[in-house]
Amino acid sequence: MDAISGATSQSEAVKKAVSKAMVKSSKQQAFEESGGVSAPQSYDVVVVGSGGAGLAAAIQAHDEGASVLIVEKMPSIGGNTVKASAGMNAAETRFQRVKGILDSKELFYAETLKGGYNKKQP
């Protein structure tokens, strides 16, 4: 991960947290591949998925003192967030307010479902 555009301090925090998690993860993987048996471990928080939301949740939980495990099915981090080439979707932003664009979380939700042909109802 090179950077998160427009979010320098958050970008640095995410890169640091991800690097730390990857080092820890690679140590565990090397141990498992060596045939070693690890003792059961417990965590305060388990985050499934390392996309933008998952990483944000993991960082928040860590910052609040929780021990955190991130579980990712793909070989690299980022989830669908890394595929967001046109930017991040948001509603009721300050940029919209400045331009007089009326928006709401409800409209954002409805448009998101419509964009996915209503196939993934939460």
Give the tens place of pLDDT for each residue, 16-54.
777 677 666 665 665 566 665 566 789 999 999 999 899
**What pTM did the predictor assign?**
0.47
Asked whether the predicted pLDDT for residue 90 surpasses 60, the reply is: yes
Residue 38's pLDDT is: 63
Burial profile 30-52: b = 16 or more Cβ within 10 angstroms, e = fewer: eeeeeeeeeeeeeeeeebebbbb
Residue scoring higher pLDDT (21 or 102)? 102
Structural domain boundaries in the chain: 8-88, 89-122
Residue scoring higher pLDDT (93 or 28)? 93
Residue 14's pLDDT is: 74
Asked whether the predicted pLDDT for residue 64 surpasses 50, the reply is: yes
Across 66-89, average pLDDT: 83
43 in Cβ contact with 50 (< 8 Å): no
Across 80-84, average pLDDT: 76
Residue 1's pLDDT is: 47
Asked whether the predicted pLDDT for residue 9 surpasses 70, the reply is: no
C-alpha to C-alpha distance for 120 and 81, rounded to whole angstroms:
17
